[in-house]
Amino acid sequence: MASKPYDIVILPSKELVRQAIELSADLQRFGTHFQLTDIGPFPHISLYMVQLKESDLTKVQEALASIAANTPSIALQATRYYQAEGYIDAQYARTEAVAHLQMAVVEAINPIRNGLLEEDKRHFLAATGKVRENFERYGYPAVGELFRPHVTFTRFLSGKAIAAESLPESDRFSGVFTRLGLFELGSGGTCVQEVAKFTLGTGV
């Protein structure tokens, strides 16, 4: 049965989308692997990267629609930029609301997942401690205390970090996340193809 890697995410408000796309475009001057746009790759915060059978997508969408309806929009505070392995992110404070949403998604979708993501198989072999435990339990390391909410703007070809003075204040990316989304997962953690999205809080 065919399966693909997917990313279950929360999507920012239109204003935050615009700002993320603008910064991603500006960072092209440093040489980058990808640029965020409004037709993909899309700005997002990943909740759960997961391998799924295409035949299970209806079941997954039904679960996500129910979770979204009963989860209000989530306000998050951007605390800093984080740069590692050439990526540049706006990192957010992990609130109780976003942590609860992540676990609701993981617990609903984990029983449906189809093994590990292909690119995570080698990471799993080297993993230890909580990372290994999360891989074994959820097929994804960044769950629970290891969940680091962030929006990735791009990845630099050089693999090196850029100076802080080249960036606007990270606080400008604070704001509200209004939808839950299911996307096909591309290289570098990008969301390249929308499968479905659900407005948060419609049933609250």
Please list the ranges in the chain whose pLDDT falls under 50: none
Q: For residues 193 and 37, give the distance between their C-alpha atoms in angstroms, rounded to a whole number.
A: 12
Helix ranges (H only) for 44-120 are 57-69, 96-109
pLDDT at residue 162 in the model: 95
- Residue 186: domain span: 3-119+150-199
**Number of folded domains that form the chain:** 1
Q: What is the pLDDT of residue 124?
A: 80
CATH at 9: 3.90.1140.10
Query: Got the DSSP string for 18-30?
Result: HHHHHHHHHGGGG
Q: Is residue 93 part of a domain?
A: yes
pTM: 0.96
Mean pLDDT, rounded, of the chain = 95
Q: Residues with Cβ < 8 Å from 66, sequence gap 6 or more?
A: none
User: Could you read off the pLDDT of 92-108 as tens digits, one per residue?
Assistant: 999 999 999 999 999 99
